């Protein structure tokens, strides 16, 4: 794959971890391809799981089976996996 800076040309996992109020953490897959959105194409399986106070996880084994992914030209099309908790970490796997 021709992955470039910021994941251009490849699928990515985006995440926010907050250890301050309201301790809302979020992670998602992005396959956005529209102009100015990074041309994030599915090129390999991706997965993530929270560590610590949160236990949610998600896997994206294919472009057609990528639950909650942001896709196409619509940056509001996805659904992040969210959790509330402090001292949360994240494990991300690309394979």
Stated pTM of the model: 0.92
Number of domains in the chain: 1
- CA-to-CA distance for 6 and 2, rounded, in angstroms? 12
Rounded-to-10 torsion of CA 32, 36, 38, 39 = 60
Q: pLDDT digits over 81-95, tens only? A: 999 999 999 999 998
Q: pLDDT digits over 2-61, tens only? A: 899 889 999 999 999 999 999 999 999 999 998 889 899 999 999 999 999 999 999 999
What residues make up the domain containing 75?
5-94
């Amino acid at each position: 794959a021709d992955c470039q800076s910021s994941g251009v040309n490849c699928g990515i996992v985006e995440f926010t971890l907050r250890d301050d109020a309201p301790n809302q953490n979020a992670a998602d897959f992005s396959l956005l391809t529209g102009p100015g959105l990074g041309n994030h194409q599915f090129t390999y399986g991706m997965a993530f799981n929270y560590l610590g106070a949160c236990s949610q996880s998600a896997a994206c084994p294919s472009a057609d089976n990528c639950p909650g992914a942001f896709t196409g030209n619509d940056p509001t099309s996805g659904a992040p996996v969210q959790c509330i908790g402090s001292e949360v970490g994240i494990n991300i796997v690309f394979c």
